[in-house]
Every structure is written in C-alpha cells, then in structure tokens.
Amino acid sequence: MFRQIMMLPARCLACGACELACALQWQSSRGTAIAHGRLRVRLAAGQPLPLLCRHCRTAPCVDACPAGAMQRDGGRVFVDTERCVGCWSCVMVCPTCQVMPRSALEEDAPGPASPRGFAFKCDGCPDELAPPCVAACPTGALLAYDQRQLAALLGERRRSFAARILSAQAPDTASNYE
C-alpha cells in the first residue's frame, strides 16, 4: 500500500540520516554501484527542510512525459527508467523540483533506454514495510501515512484550526453587558 511521507520541518535537525538511508536503500535494493538518494534536506530561511516528491494528485510530470516513463500506480508516482528518454520534461514541470536528472555517464545507470540519462525521484519505497528515510529519522520529522490515515489526520487538523479561528472571533459577551 502506498504511504505518503509527510514532514514536520520544526523537528528536523538536518542531520542527513534520512538522506543516507534513502541512498543506501536505492543502492542495495536497485543494485546500483553509486548511492543516490531521492530525498534531500536543504536550508530555507536558516531552517532545515526535508524535500521529497509529493506524489501530486494531478502530477504534471506524468502528463508531460512523452515516453510514458512517468507513471501513476494508485497514489504513487514513479519513473520507469527503461522507458525514459532523458528529455527532462518531467524535471521542468515538477512543482516541487523533486524530479531530478541522472546522467547516463555514471557507471551504474540502469537500462539502455537513453544515452542522455534518465529522471529519478522518490517512489515511496512501496516494497518496504516502512520507508527507510522515515525509520532513520531520529527526531520523527518524517512520518508515513496511508491515504486513510492521512485523511483522518488532515480532517482533525482542519477541525482544530477552525475551532481556534472561531474561538478567536467569538464576541466577549461579558464586556457587552458592562
């Protein structure tokens, strides 16, 4: 089952444990010689921010791919590297800049599909019980939710936010009668 990986930037220490776990997972499970993670941690306004594919509901990368290499399986968006022609259309249209080009000159580039390289991105590690990046995070800044859990979490957050807004807008009835 596909799990969406959510991030809590306030908990992130930028330690790189998630990046390393991701790179090692891709190296071991995909049989590549060079480790390339699909998750990156960058600083934004001085604060660490984990960046990874959001698996957009209306994924522009899937629509832009002329070779059909960018595909959707349930909620998961992934790259079929055998079909990728290295045109980078998906890289250019990704709203979160999480589809990345990979050079075919690297010694472990899989598949003969393109001498120009191929796109790569987070696929959510569908074959793993828990995504390695989530398991490796020492502070719990990364969390994995299936669609049902995510809907419940977002619903609770919306209700909580609405309650805070309504309580802040409620008239002070005691002062109205003084």
Model confidence pLDDT, tens digit, residues 84-115: 998 999 999 999 889 988 875 455 555 544 56
Distance CA 35, CA 43 (A): 22
Query: pLDDT below 70 — which residues of the chain?
Result: 1, 28-35, 104-116, 170-178
pLDDT of residue 93: 97
pTM attached to this predicted model: 0.73
Q: Which residues contact 127 (CB under 8 A, 6 or more apart)?
A: 29
- Tell me if 28 sits within 8 A of 154, measured CB to CB: no
Domains of the chain: 1-52+129-168 (3.30.70.20), 53-121 (3.30.70.20)
Closest CA to 134 of 57, 79, 76, 52: 52
pLDDT of residue 171: 64
pLDDT of residue 113: 45
Please give the biggest Cα pair distance in the chain: 81
pLDDT of residue 25: 86
pLDDT of residue 135: 95
pLDDT, averaged across the chain: 83
Encoded tokens for 40 = 């990156």
Count H helices and E strands in the chain, helices first. Answer: 6, 8
Per-residue exposure over 100-120, b if at least 16 CB sit within 10 Å of its own CB, e if not? bbbeeeeeebeeebbeebbbb
